[in-house]
Structure 1
Amino acid sequence: MNILLINHYAGSDRLGMEYRPFYLAREWVAAGHRVTIVGASHSHLRARQPEVTHDLATDVEEGVRYRWLRTAPYAGNGMGRVANMATFVSKLWAYAPRLAREERPDVVICSSTYPLDIYPGARIARRAGARLVFELHDLWPLTPMMLGGYSPKHPFIRAMQAAEDYACRNVDTLVSILPHARDYLVGRGLDPAKFVHVPNGIPVAAFLNAEPGPLPEPLAARIAAERARGHFLVGYAGGINPSNPVETILEAAIRLKDKPISFIFVGGGAAEAAFRERIAAAALPNFHHMGVIPKALVQSFLAEMDVLTMPWKRNPIYKYGVSPNKMFDYMLAGRPIVQSCGASNDLVAEGRCGFTVPPEDAQAFADALLRLSEMTPEERADLGGNGRRFVLENHDYRVLAARFAAVTAPPVLADPARALAGRTAVADAHG
């Protein structure tokens, strides 16, 4: 099968976020498919940007082929980002005939978080005679309305809603990362038979085969010092952003300040400076924010903790479900988890790997941590083992990529023998 995946923010292990397109594509290539990702030359999510001299320049990352559209640099969520989106979408529309001719896809996947790429994606699919797939990461524009306070009458929101509605009415398959979004999307015009849930996950083999090296010396020393005090270690690895209410964990730490429990944070983000000020004001001897560490070292850090934490805000958007990458990183580490969450799905309960308490409830969070600290090491190991087995069986990208390909393949390629013939024809066509 020849797959063209459009994702404005697509990254790789070398470039940084966004990882999902790369992880899926890498598995598809390993399974014998031909994959090309179309992305923008600049994304605020990446740690580094590709070197792009002209539109549709070709690059390869670990066997995955990329074609880049040049867009201007920007920072934050202001007009620079909007202009970057507009440039990417307009160029994608202009180059649609060329992409259809040169890539000859069997499947076109539109997957840029915001839905505007559905229009040029549909144009490419029509010209190539390909199936059109829309991959829904978040419900746009519902998410910015509920989390960002945007009015439904805002021109940007109206444009996003029109694009989402177009996708619902015109796609062959809609793949949703959110498990319970189907009814909402049916209300926007989607045929319910076209809805498929494929959650987030992790590339298990890459994680297990990695040789990350030692933790940074200040972090390793802090862990050793807290262990020497005989303390139970509570860890958090992730963003310090307005969408992540890490204050819930800080408030839990205040309630547990007289217990032999220490909190160690790694990560950064837009709200990091304000959070550091709150830590300093609380003057807690048991709370330590150690800054950002390389992604390759996150699993090593998680494995040093006794329990891992994840806070969520209280918001009605979560009634459609959640699928956070961080949860699967935590599960792979084999440590019990405490989350404060009110989503319609409960991954901790599904994995039988810890406790879920109400969102933004610091006392309930503290009580769950204390309960875990009073368990035996064997009991905690059982919980952590449950989570590890759950993620290996259900959220390995090898499993997810196979499921994704199976539900989006054109009927002519669904039969293995015909699929092989199709791949041979594609290979011949591309020399």
Structure 2
Amino acid sequence: MNILLINHHAGSLQHGMEYRPYYLARAWVAMGHRVRIVAAARSHVRREDPCLHGRSRLDQHIDGIEYTWLSTPGYVGNGWGRIRNMLTFLYRLHYLATALARSFRPDVVIASSTYPLDIWPAHRIARHAGARLLFELHDLWPLSPIELGGYARWHPFIVALQSAENFACRNSDAIVSMLPNVRAHLEAHGMASHKLHIVPNGTDPDEWRQTPAPLPEALAATLATLRGQGAFVVGFAGAHGLANALDTLLSAASLLRDVPVRIVLVGAGPEKPRLQARALAEHLDNVCFLDAVGKDQIPALLRAFDVAYIGLQRQPLFRFGISPNKLIDYMMAGRPVLQAIEAGNDPVGEARCGLTVAAENPQAVASGIRTLLAMTPAAREEMGSNGTRFVLDNLTYDVLGKRFIEACA
């Protein structure tokens, strides 16, 4: 089967995030399918963008996957520059639709960008090729910019996004969602019930079976010192942004001064300087900030934690469920998880790999840490093992790739 996957932000191990299209495509190639990913050349989520040297298009082969990069302008932030980047990608994709249909001859066309506007060029390609059309739902647009960004429903961009979502619900042969509780929402916008398939985020277990890359010397020394002091390390690894509600974790730290707990925050992000200044001003000596590490160093880092923390702001949008990559990493590392998220699903509870407490509630987070500290090492080890088993049984890209292919049939 020839699979054409359209994802504006798609990356690879070379380019960095977004990784999901790469891992799914690699699993499909291993199953004997031919896969082409079409992506924009400029994306804010990648570590490294492809270099087109002034060309409008670049074709590459990466790990058995065919990539087509379309030239788009760079941008910063979420303003007009980002919209211009989107529109340029969509224009180039629409212009190439007939040529892609004839040259690649897809059996399946997947519209998979974060925003739903790529459903129209994807539909055009599928129609020319006589292919099945799939819509992959990452986030709910336009609901996300409405509820998180404060956009009005009558804003022209929101109207266009809603029109695209409605078109996808009515015209796709199947819809794949990472969010488990979206059925009612999609049916309200025209989706037939039988079209929905749930395929969450996943991981490549081979990356965890390898000897992990060593941590930077200074970071390793800091963690070793904490261990030598008998500290119970509660770690967070990831972006220091508003969405992660890290102020809650700092407030919890202020309630834990009487116990040998050390809060370690590893990563970078726009909120990090402010959080560091707050910890200094409040004399939070039990909080430590460390630099971000590479993707290949994540296993070694997480295994140095006693407990791995994940939190999010309290948002109504999470009623549709969550599927965080960070949580899957925590589970693969075999760490018990403290999850401070209120959502329509509870992946930590489902996997029996830790504790779930109220979001943005420092007292609840502090209480959860005390509960985990009071457990025996064997009990915490069992939680961590539960998480790893759950991922290996349900969330590897070999498993998820097969589930996705079922939706293509």
**Same-fold status (TM-score > 0.5):** yes
Aligned twin of 1:412: none
Instruction: Tell me by how many angstroms 1:212 deviates.
Output: 3.4
- Aligned amino acid, residue 169 of structure 2: C
Residues matched between the structures, number: 408
Question: SS at 2:242's partner residue?
Answer: coil
Compute the displacement of 1:346 (Å): 0.2
Q: Work out the CA distance in 2 between the residues paired with 1:9 and 1:117.
A: 12
- 1:216-255 aligned at under 5 Å gives the runs 216-255=216-255
CA-atom RMSD in angstroms: 1.0
Measured after TM superposition, the shift of residue 56 of structure 1 is 3.5
Aligned residue for 1:318, secondary structure, equals helix
1:184 correspondence with 2:172: no
> What are the superposed Cα offsets for residues 383-430 of structure 1, whole Å, 9 maximum, x if unpaired?
111111011101111100011012212xxxxxxxxxxxxxxxxxxxxx
1:132 is matched with 133
What secondary structure, in the 3-state scheme, does the structure 2 residue paired with 1:276 have? Answer: helix
Q: Which amino acid aligns with 1:333?
A: A
1:332 counterpart = 2:329: no
Q: Match for residue 297 of structure 2?
A: 297
Q: CA deviation at 1:270?
A: 2.4
- Separation in structure 1 between the aligned mates of residue 336 and residue 207 of structure 2, nearest angstrom: 22
3-state SS of paired residue (1:67): strand
What secondary structure does 1:243 align onto?
helix
Q: Could you tell me how far apart the structure 2 residues matched to 1:273 and 1:149 are? A: 26
1:390 equivalent to 2:396? Answer no
**Is the counterpart of residue 208 in structure 1 residue 217 in structure 2?**
no
- Once residues 14 and 208 of structure 2 are traced to their aligned partners in structure 1, the CA distance between those partners, rounded to angstroms, is 14
TM-score, with length taken from structure 2: 0.98
Measured after TM superposition, the shift of residue 204 of structure 1 is: 1.2
Match of 2:152 in 1: 151
Could you tell me which residue of structure 2 aligns to residue 64 of structure 1?
65
Match of 2:220, SS state, is: helix
Q: How does 1:11-410 map to 2 (within 5 A)?
A: 11-53=11-53, 54-209=55-210, 211-409=211-409
Unmatched tracts of structure 1, length 5 or more: 410-431
Counterparts of 1:61 and 1:274 in 2: how far apart (Å)? 40
- Give the letter aligned to residue 263 of structure 2: F
Question: 1:152, CA displacement in angstroms?
Answer: 1.0
Q: Deviations over 1:306-348 (max 9, x none)?
A: 0000111111111110000111000000010001111010000
> Aligned to 1:95, what secondary structure does the other structure show?
helix
Secondary structure class of the residue paired with 1:280: helix
Q: CA deviation at 1:25?
A: 0.2
Shifted more, 96-105 versus 278-287: the winner is 278-287
The amino acid across from 1:28 in the alignment is: W
Structure 2 portions without partners, runs of 5+: none
Name the CA distance, whole Å, in 2 between partners of 1:231 and 1:297.
22
**CA deviation after TM superposition for structure 1 residue 174, in Å:** 0.5
Q: Secondary structure at the match of 2:101?
A: helix
Q: What is the TM-score of this pair, normalised by structure 1?
A: 0.93
- In 1, distance between residues paired with 2:162 and 2:245? 28
Structure 2 distance, partners of 1:207, 1:86, is 38
Q: Give 1:258 shift.
A: 2.2
CA-to-partner distance for each residue in 1:130-171, whole Å, 9 max, x for gaps?
A: 000000000001011111111111111111111111100100
The amino acid of 1:197's aligned partner reads I
AA aligned to 1:275 is L
CA distance in structure 2 between the partners assigned to 1:108 and 1:45 by the alignment: 23
Runs of 4 or more above 4 Å deviation: none
Mapped partners of 1:278, 1:154: distance in 2? 37
SS in 2 for 1:308: strand
Q: Quote the offset at 1:206 in angstroms.
A: 2.8
Task: Report if aligned partners of 2:208, 2:332 keep a CA contact under 8 Å in 1.
Answer: no
Deviations 1:59-96 (A, max 9, x none): 12222110011011112212111100000001101110
The structural deviation recorded for 1:274 is: 2.0
Hey, what's the Cα distance between the residues in 1 that align with 2:278 and 2:169?
44
Moved more, 249-258 or 166-175: 249-258
8 A Cα contact 2:318 2:343, kept in partner = yes
Q: Deviation per CA, 1:239-270: give whole Å up to 9, x if none.
A: 11121111111111111022100011111122
Shift of 1:207: 3.0
Equivalent residue letter for 1:164: E
Instruction: State the alpha-carbon separation in 2 of the partners of residues 162 and 272 from structure 1.
Output: 38
Letter in 2 for 1:277: A
